[in-house]
Amino acid sequence: MAKKLIVANWKMNPDSLKKAEELFESILSFKSYDALLNLVICPPFEYLEPLIKHPKNKKKVVKFGAQDVFYENKGAYTGEISPKMLKDLKVEYVIVGHSERRKFLNESDAIINKKVLAALKEGLKVILCVGENSSVRGKGKKVVENYIRSQLEKDLKGLTNKLMKLKANNLIIAYEPIWAIGTGNNDTPKDAIEVISFIKEQVFGNLSFVPKMLYGGSVNSKNINEFLQNNAIDGALVGNASVDKKEFSKLVENLKSVKNETKKPKK
């Protein structure tokens, strides 16, 4: 089985550095999993440096990601953090275009597009989030596919084969249906795989690269294997379950038993 990618999106949690260190230490204590999966944790900005430099983080097996980034590298942009600053801190990944930022901060596709290009140019691995809301989903498969295609076209505008050749494998797409995020109401593996396969084949089919695809939205220790046992899905973006020590440890433990299956999921 190709290595799966598990990205832990801590969002605005936990509420103190002490608790963040405890959570990180519990992840460091997971029994060997690195032959099977790559683990990336995305804590709030202020915990990145202390966790990266944590005395127990010697083996550097766990990778780090930020939850957002700005599109300029320096200047008068109060409150922003640049791609260069993240690189300087040895942060490898960045989540861009999460639906919570699209919704709460009105982050537009035009801004997300600038962030994707700037972060890729700086050599960061970009996890670009796309996904439809429940009203789009209610209109059926074709409408969902058109919606996702249009989101990707806007968010990746100007992304050239040249840039991708230089930064091969640095673009990762997370398909996260908005109605499934934080609700406990995950998509069915069958429907998620259909959208993910559509993206791989129909949106990227003619290009010289196909990005890794993650599923996100109420992934937990019980359903992780249903999603990741199919080769179409390269990994998962995990929110709530990633900030619960026991649940996250179970999730990684359960994932170890994933078999390499190419067959279609049960209807």
Q: Within positions 202 to 221, which residues make up the interface with ligand PGA, using CB under 6 A?
A: 216-219
Q: Is 120 in the site for ligand PGA (CB under 6 A)?
A: no
**Among 81, 71, 92, 68, which residue's Cα sits nearest to residue 11?**
68
Checking 131-139 for CB contacts under 8 A at 24+ apart, the result is 131/99, 131/175, 131/176, 131/177, 131/178, 131/180, 131/181, 131/216, 131/217, 132/177, 132/178, 133/178, 133/179, 134/178, 134/179, 137/177, 137/179
End-to-end CA distance of the chain: 23
User: Is residue 98 annotated as a catalytic residue, yes or no?
Assistant: yes
The 149-188 site mask, x for binding ligand PGA (CB under 6 A), equals ---------------------------x----xx------
User: Is residue 176 annotated as a catalytic residue, yes or no?
Assistant: yes
- HSE of 241 in the Cβ direction (CA atoms, 13 Å)? 24
Please select the residue that binds ligand PGA; options are 5, 199, 240, 258, rule is CB under 6 A. Answer: 240
Please select the residue that binds ligand PGA; options are 9, 82, 151, 223, rule is CB under 6 A. Answer: 9
Q: How far is the CB of 219 from ligand PGA (least distance, A)?
A: 5
User: Which of the stretches 57-65, 103-111, 117-125, 233-241 binds ligand PGA when contact is defined by CB under 6 A?
Assistant: 233-241
Q: Which residue is nearest to ligand PGA (CB)?
A: 239
User: Which of the stretches 74-82, 119-127, 155-163, 237-245 binds ligand PGA when contact is defined by CB under 6 A?
Assistant: 237-245
**Among 162, 88, 163, which residue's Cα sits nearest to residue 126?**
163
Q: Which is nearer to ligand PGA, 113 or 240 (CB)?
A: 240
Q: How far is the CB of 82 from ligand PGA (least distance, A)?
A: 23
Q: How far is CA 16 from CA 23, 44, 174, 217, in A?
A: 11, 10, 28, 25
Please select the residue that binds ligand PGA; options are 37, 238, 251, 252, rule is CB under 6 A. Answer: 238
User: Which of the stretches 141-149, 198-206, 222-230, 231-239 binds ligand PGA when contact is defined by CB under 6 A?
Assistant: 231-239
Q: Is 68 in the site for ligand PGA (CB under 6 A)?
A: no
Q: What one-letter code names the amino acid at 130? A: V
> Which residue among the candidates 122, 176, 194, 226 is catalytic per the annotation?
176
Helix (H) or strand (E) holding 212: strand 212-216
Asked whether 143 and 136 are in contact (CB, 8 A), the reply is yes
Catalytic residues: 98, 176
The residue ranges that bind ligand PGA (CB under 6 A) are 9, 176, 181-182, 216-219, 237-241
